[in-house]
Structure 1
């Protein structure tokens, strides 16, 4: 959700190196999978990992660790985690549903639908389209201001480049798209997500905003030191980061959306999985960028064994990811409740997937997207 301190990446690199050395003697065929996941979590200072590995529609669900490192209450399959930027994939599907209904177009400027006040004095306001939002080519920063404060909502948006000419990861773009969808439908984003995603996908343990009663089985976020943060309760929806869900629910969504094209026209589903534009690791062009191009609202991983789809999420105290392979019908979805959670990614992937491949979704920027 937030622009995290760049120092975190240096700390994460050190953590990964230490974790790798720690795990060399730990991961072996003599151990059961749950024990290995527990060791991975412990080595990365992660109180809990909720993980689902799905192959051909069959789930293997793991619930390891604690909701809160101080109370030591164990998580279970219904424990709700913050999905952070995995929310963007839900928002993308919601947009595609509205596009299929003829309510909004991919390449028509969003400002022509909705005069977003924060762009009133932006010279590029008439150039930003949904395609630009979903591939992070709007030119808008990730966030301008202290999200989700009232002051943030009043902050004018500035452009770093003309829409469609470069890449910059942007939550602000997704929020612009959210308010546009709300305007053209007359519905709140919460209503749209519930009607277009949560109900039809039968995601019974998911919500786009905090609901009363969720505190009974919600994971607390944690600092890298494993001390718990306050329980995060987002009362207003944001298409970039406010989804609460479980590994089982999110796997169901990924399976039906990516593998089956559930609820979409065939040509729309095909469009959603196409290579649309290129990502950039930094200001310059990296040879690694070609392995993680942008599809609509998510990333592709192109490596030795083919094409897969992925996204990661970072909210304060939470790190999560999914990686899905249409050809082998495999999905890995993992939620962690720690700022150091991305250090678990390469070891989780190696544990469940064909390890004779390069996991560019991690190698590219160690899990970070911004």
Structure 2
């Protein structure tokens, strides 16, 4: 049922009480049509209040894009549009994983084979545990590696845990499996992503690597003072080189292309039912990093299992699973998810520095999917970031994946 509360009043209630149905998007499962004008007004206000540089949003219903909206500027004087590309940070990992799954389903590699015969990182060559590493461990974040080697005191790759024993979110694991696959197949992994995933799904405009030919469509990341430091550059001066890629970060894609990717993933395009089942089975639980706080969840809102499958964060409700992934960096906050049963989903991409994106994400979810089980996660994350304000940037490098 469409709310009669004004958009502004609704947003005030959302912030104060954490509950209010959007005038534009009905609650999950309600087939009511989206009020595009109300949604545009609500998001335009959200972007202004939170100082978001660029925003793109899509709502998926029954496997179809029901609505999308674009706000702010792609670059000075150029408004955001459906052709704008957003850096989606760690959502890149899902594209890496989906490529590995297609290669495995085609028999070109195996999820449980040792990676060591084809690739051993020099940093772990003297540790015999490298022989235990498999693609499945990398995709399910159980390699035992840290998130990034530059975040540990030694600045070298090493094992924090024995492989296969416990969850530990790791971009290094994704870089490892991509390097292994490229060496296993004597191919550039970025090219494997293009030929086995992006082109078959009809989204060749997405940039898995750093492509200068996409810079004129890429949302410009700006710091708190509005300064642009260059595409794929950080305020400290470090930049990614054109022609390179990361298997864990910095993919650029348009909102509707990411929505189409979600639908194709939900449908299991590119591999068989057995591989699809493996992908969305919870391989490892998250312990105290669980997405849904079941002590605070509404009746029926606590999943029977929550953790990582192969590439995706999975909330298992028995007759339904929510497949999701997010991404964050100094200037990006991204979220994409879809329900396997209904085919309903959401894409929210913010180009915004620091706390601005974190403040806006719960508000955005309240508009497009008020019952989203992920909303509480972003509310907790924002409160944590507020507490840590003045110290390390709490949103950097997927500190809360």
Normalised by the length of structure 2, the TM-score is 0.76
Cα gap change, 1:105/1:304 in structure 2, threshold over 3 Å: closer, same or farther?
closer
Distance 2:73 2:319 in 1: 35
Moved more, 296-305 or 77-86: 296-305
- TM-aligned CA distance change 1:343 to 1:193, over 3 Å: same
Q: 1:72 deviation in Å? A: 3.6
Cross-structure match for 1:6 = none
Task: Return closer, same or farther for 1:183/1:324 CA change in 2, 3 Å cut-off.
Answer: same
Q: When the two structures are aligned, how many residues end up with a matched partner?
A: 344
The answer to whether structure 1 residue 38 and structure 2 residue 38 are counterparts is: no
Partner residue of 1:104 out of 109, 117, 123: 109
Alignment match of 1:298 (pick from 312, 319, 333): 312
- Identify the residue that residue 274 of structure 1 maps to in structure 2: 281
1:248 counterpart residue number: 256
Q: How many angstroms does 1:156 deviate by?
A: 3.7
CA contact (8 A) 2:304 2:317 kept: no
Greater Cα shift, 247-256 or 18-27: 18-27
User: In 2 relative to 1, CA 264–91 (structure 1 residues): closer, same or farther, beyond 3 Å?
Assistant: same
- Counterparts of 1:7-156 in structure 2 under 5 Å? 20-21=15-16, 32-56=38-62, 57-68=64-75, 71-145=76-150, 156=156
Deviation at 1:46, TM superposition (A): 1.0
Contact 1:23 1:40 in 2 (8 A): no
List per-residue Cα deviations over 1:52-93 (Å, max 9, x = no partner).
Answer: 11112133111111123xx24211101111121111000001
Find the counterpart in structure 2 of residue 351 from structure 1: 367
Q: What CA deviation, in whole Å up to 9, does each residue of 1:101-128 have, x standing for no partner?
A: 2222222221133233232123421122
Q: 1:239-270: per-residue Cα shift (whole Å, max 9, x none)?
A: 10131111111111110112x11110121112
2:6 aligns to what? Answer: none
Query: Is 1:369 equivalent to 2:400 in the alignment?
Result: yes
Distance 1:46 1:290 in 2: 36
SS at match of 1:167: coil
State the secondary structure of the residue aligned to 1:293: strand
SS at match of 2:94: helix
Residues 19 and 318 of structure 1, relative CA distance in 2, 3 Å threshold: farther
| Aligned pair partner of 1:334 in 335, 340, 348 | 348
User: Please, which runs of 5 or more residues in structure 1 have no aligned partner?
Assistant: 1-16, 147-151
CA-to-aligned-CA distance 1:182-207 (integer Å, 9 cap, x gap): 00111101110110111111113211
Aligned to 1:192: 192
Partners of 2:345 and 2:372 lie apart in 1 by 17
Offset of residue 357 of structure 1 = 5.6
Partner SS state of residue 125, structure 1: helix
Return the alpha-carbon distance in structure 2 between the equivalents of residues 282 and 324 of structure 1. 21
How far the C-alpha of 1:97 sits from its partner, in A, is 1.0
Offset of residue 157 of structure 1: 1.3
Q: Which moved more, 1:18-27 or 1:328-337?
A: 18-27
| TM score, norm. by length of structure 1 | 0.82
* 1:360 shift after superposition: 5.1
The corresponding residue for 1:238 is 246
Residue of structure 1 in register with 2:327 after alignment = 313
User: Retained in 1: the 8 A contact 2:19–2:366?
Assistant: no
Matched with 2:215 is 215
- Written as runs of structure 1 = structure 2, the 5 A alignment for 1:176-191 is 176-191=176-191
- State how far apart, in whole Å, the 1-side matches of 2:327 and 2:309 are: 17
More moved, 231-240 vs 325-334: 231-240
The RMSD of aligned alpha carbons is 3.3
Name structure 2 gaps, 5 residues minimum. 1-11, 25-35, 233-240, 296-302, 383-397
Partner of 2:167: 167
Q: Secondary structure at the match of 1:63?
A: strand
